[in-house]
A and B are shown apart, each in its own frame.
Chain A
Amino acid sequence: MFYIGKHPFNPASRQPAAASPPPWPARMAELARRARHPALRAFYRAGVVTPDTAIGQVPLLAMDFETTGTDARRDDIVSIGLVPMTLQRIRLQHGHHWLLKPRAPLRDESVVIHGITHSEVEKAPDLNALFITLLELMAGKVLVVHHRGIERQFLDAALQRRIGEGIAFPCIDTLALEARQHRHRPVSLAARLFSRRPRVSLRLPESRTRYNLPRYPAHNALTDALACAELLQAQVAHHFSAETPVEALWC
């Protein structure tokens, strides 16, 4: 994934965090009625666990994208990393890593970040060839991402562009969970006046360091998905429990 600066581009992520999470089973049922593409309909019909399901029982799928840039309206997905997991085990041997040919030019600055080159993507397939498999892998799972702005918006925009309809799906955002741990710290008046807020980095590597997780080379979608999966296990172990209902975590 991309590590972005302070304020990500998308309005969706500025939703008040306190807002109650969407009633996903009902929403999925509603979307299933409206979806036109059969693959999308099948995805929504697979449904999702009820909000009171303990997180320890939820089938999860960690997902990470590398993209051509940061604007979901103009940029496109270059690679996808997927790792199925539960709270207990991350099943890397069932993971997937796809390179895609984006429908937006590969920008030099993004090449610098993820190291995927023009010649590599030239040979890669379009998302058209893979999205049905992707939706099958996502079906019935709750997605795990670090900063939902990227994966949700880019997949939504990418499908819009290809089949004329977008997608919504429940996900657990490890960045948002990490922000919760640091948002409620009392800040002294002096610190506020001089805007010396404690600056805690919520980026994936720094967040992982707080849980004694090892350093991985970043910006490979599969490694980042794995890194994000491990971070969720650590966060739940430290701040929640296997019994925590999934609705306390998803959004």
Chain B
Amino acid sequence: MQAEHQDMIDFLRRYPPFDALPVDALALAAANIEVSYFKAGSHILSFGQQVDAWYVIRSGAVEVYRRNGDLYNRLSAGGYFGQFGLLRESSVRFPVTALEDTLAWLIPAPVFHQLFTQYEAFADVVEVEDRTRLRHTVARSEDANELLTSRIDTLIGRKPVTIETSGTVREAAITMSTEGVSSLLVMNAGVPEGAMGNAARMAGMLTDRDLRTRVIAKGLSVDTPVSEIMTPELIYGEHHQMVFEAMLTMMRHNVHHLPVLRQGQPIGVISQSDILRYESQNSLFVVSRIFHANSVAELCALSGEVRTCFRRIVREDANSKMIGSAMAVIGRSFTQRLLELAEQQLGPPPVPYCFLALGSMARQEQLIVTDQDNALVLDNSFDPRRHDGWFLALATFVSDGLAACGYRYCNGGIMATTARWRQPLAVWERYFADWIGKPTPQTLLDSAIFFDLDGVWGNTEWAEHLSQSIAQQTRHNARFLACMARNALLRTPPLGFFKGFVMEPSGQHSRSINMKRRGTAPLADLIRVHALAIGSRARNSFERLQEIIEADILPHGRGQDLRDALEFISMVRIRHQALDLDAERQPDNNIEPENLSDFERKNLKDAFQILSNAQKFLKYRYQAGRIR
């Protein structure tokens, strides 16, 4: 029997609350396990049913419901249920259904009670399951908005209408009229279906706008092959993406039609109007107004709409990633339009350049209260005496414009208006080489923001080039990572010794907690360190976390906990700002805990505790033995 118990013990000890138990307690549990299989869709526990065992999922997944039928929780391998029933008169309180084919281990009630009374740590986790509660809170807000959480393939009405590259403009126009579509997918002639799957077969897109601007306006013959007027680089979406992601892709690339692929095959094309039909007053709408504004004054007039849009998305229960991305896209659009207007005014640039967004905009985590962090990368042929006048004028125009539109100037001067942050690519490469190669806590403190960078305008491939070379240099660079880790520990979560909240020490906010400084910023900082350690090129904290989880450098489950903590703290901050806007107050990041519900307060403590634990781990992982 011994060997089999060992396997069971090994499985159990990978998951809380078992990881808190001594081996003989695990052996007791393992020796008494019973096994049961449940087909997907079958009921495992029904309300009121007598429960005689505690259930641990060995494989598969289940859904736990409230009595009113609302989803309470989803659990997979290592998850457990039935404890509420066992602790209260042995009758089931939360019905459970198998989501997948599930193999469950049943720990008989007497053994469960023995573990529960004997081991305090075990009882704590089982009884008040922090993570589950937090995840449940987070899951509730994710599930609420159907539109923003629907997949794009639900918007596809018909198969894509296609034409071969050899077709003519006339044929394209006829096909579009008879099929009643505003776009055609252009397919490479002669490549058999299914060959290579995707990109090889799809040559480009053709829209009715292309016919207008590239054929009629230029007086081209209707016998011109479509391959000459199509848009060759294809921006596309994957069928499993969310509508929200498709929206962002379209905004980002300023396209109105998006082919959708499933396993490399086009299954349809969605247009902005498909999405707008569902959502009339959303961020997409604001973005299009921004691009139609013809002066800084007109742009400023839109800041009210930005706030309305923000409140609307929050009210629709979008999650923080959606909100952060939507606001970042709006911020980018303001910047891009200002750059267009500046170029109109100043004439063409003397040498090529790339306008960089830094910090929260680059991470796509922008909210309503935000300052501008940006920089300029210039062509290596840049000659300060001849060219810098133009670029300073450009930077000043954009910076003043952004400030007028509600994006405050950066206190630290991290803006393209500062000469030091307006440099040729070669100088930027040297900056990064210095920061990474000769790290000191002070220099990194000033430069950390540059490790979240994104190209907004111009030669954006330079931004890609920089972030690629950063990822290569930081990976496994112990000295650099230790310095970054040290800085990431400077801002601590507001928890006191007895796990009570610690308020801001002084000033007008002395009864409050700054959710950015004490919450989202230290989380973003610590996630950035792990991301740089694995050479991740993701910029968004959630995407970074996903790669960190996949790289398996954190203890089991901690990455997921961090994700939930980030989501919860961000949402408290976001909702607070939306409430301020509703009440026509100037939104800020300061939360007064006494204004929160008990439930929110408890969750917030849990989330800060996760941050605190993650900081301890960061210290241990990157700094152990390196501080002399």
Q: Which residues of A contact B (CB under 8 A)?
A: 88-93, 95-97, 211-214, 216-217, 220, 222-223, 226, 229-230, 233-234, 237-238
How does the 8 Å CB contact mask read for B101-141 relative to A, with 1 for contact and 0 for none?
A: 11100100000000000000000000000000000000000
Are B1 and A90 within 8 A (Cβ)?
no
For the complex formed, measure the closest distance between the CB of A250 and the CB atoms of chain B, giving whole angstroms. 20
Are A214 and B39 within 8 A (Cβ)?
no
Main secondary structure of the interface of A (DSSP, over half): mixed
Main secondary structure of the interface of B (DSSP, over half): mixed
Are A229 and B36 within 8 A (Cβ)?
no
Whether B431 sits at the interface, judged by CB under 8 Å, is no
Closest to B2 in A: A97
A-B contact pairs, 5 of them (CB 8 A): A88-B36, A95-B4, A212-B103, A222-B1, A230-B37
Are A211 and B101 within 8 A (Cβ)?
yes
Name A234's contact: one of B3, B32, B33, B101 (CB within 8 Å): B101
Are B34 and A91 within 8 A (Cβ)?
yes
Are B7 and A223 within 8 A (Cβ)?
yes
Are B39 and A90 within 8 A (Cβ)?
no
Q: How far is the CA of A93 from the CA of B34 in the complex (A)?
A: 7
> A212 and B100 in contact (CB under 8 A), knowing A220-B4, A222-B4?
yes
Chain A residue numbers with a CB within 8 Å of B60 are: 212
The interface size bin for chain B is: 20 to 34
Are B3 and A220 within 8 A (Cβ)?
yes
Are A233 and B36 within 8 A (Cβ)?
yes
Chain B residue numbers with a CB within 8 Å of A211 are: 37, 101
Chain B residue numbers with a CB within 8 Å of A233 are: 36-37
How does the 8 Å CB contact mask read for B1-27 relative to A, with 1 for contact and 0 for none?
A: 101100100000000000000000000
Besides the known contacts A93-B31, A211-B101, 6 further A-B residue pairs in the complex with CB atoms under 8 A apart: A92-B4, A93-B33, A211-B37, A216-B7, A233-B37, A234-B37
Chain B residue numbers with a CB within 8 Å of A92 are: 4, 33-35
For the complex formed, measure the closest distance between the CB of A36 and the CB atoms of chain B, giving whole angstroms. 34
Are A234 and B34 within 8 A (Cβ)?
no
Q: How far is the CA of A217 from the CA of B77 in the complex (A)?
A: 18
Whether B59 sits at the interface, judged by CB under 8 Å, is yes
Are B102 and A90 within 8 A (Cβ)?
no
Name B35's contact: one of A212, A222, A229, A238 (CB within 8 Å): A229
> A212 and B36 in contact (CB under 8 A), knowing A95-B1, A97-B4?
no
For the complex formed, measure the closest distance between the CB of B292 and the CB atoms of chain A, giving whole angstroms. 53
Are A89 and B35 within 8 A (Cβ)?
yes
Are A237 and B7 within 8 A (Cβ)?
no
Chain B residue numbers with a CB within 8 Å of A230 are: 35, 37, 103
Q: How far is the CA of A211 from the CA of B39 in the complex (A)?
A: 8
In residues 138-185 of chain B, which contact A (Cβ within 8 Å)? none
Are B101 and A89 within 8 A (Cβ)?
no
Chain A residue numbers with a CB within 8 Å of B3 are: 220, 222-223
For the complex formed, measure the closest distance between the CB of B96 and the CB atoms of chain A, giving whole angstroms. 15
For the complex formed, measure the closest distance between the CB of A61 and the CB atoms of chain B, giving whole angstroms. 14
How does the 8 Å CB contact mask read for B80-113 relative to A, with 1 for contact and 0 for none?
A: 0000000000000000000011110010000000
Chain B residue numbers with a CB within 8 Å of A88 are: 36
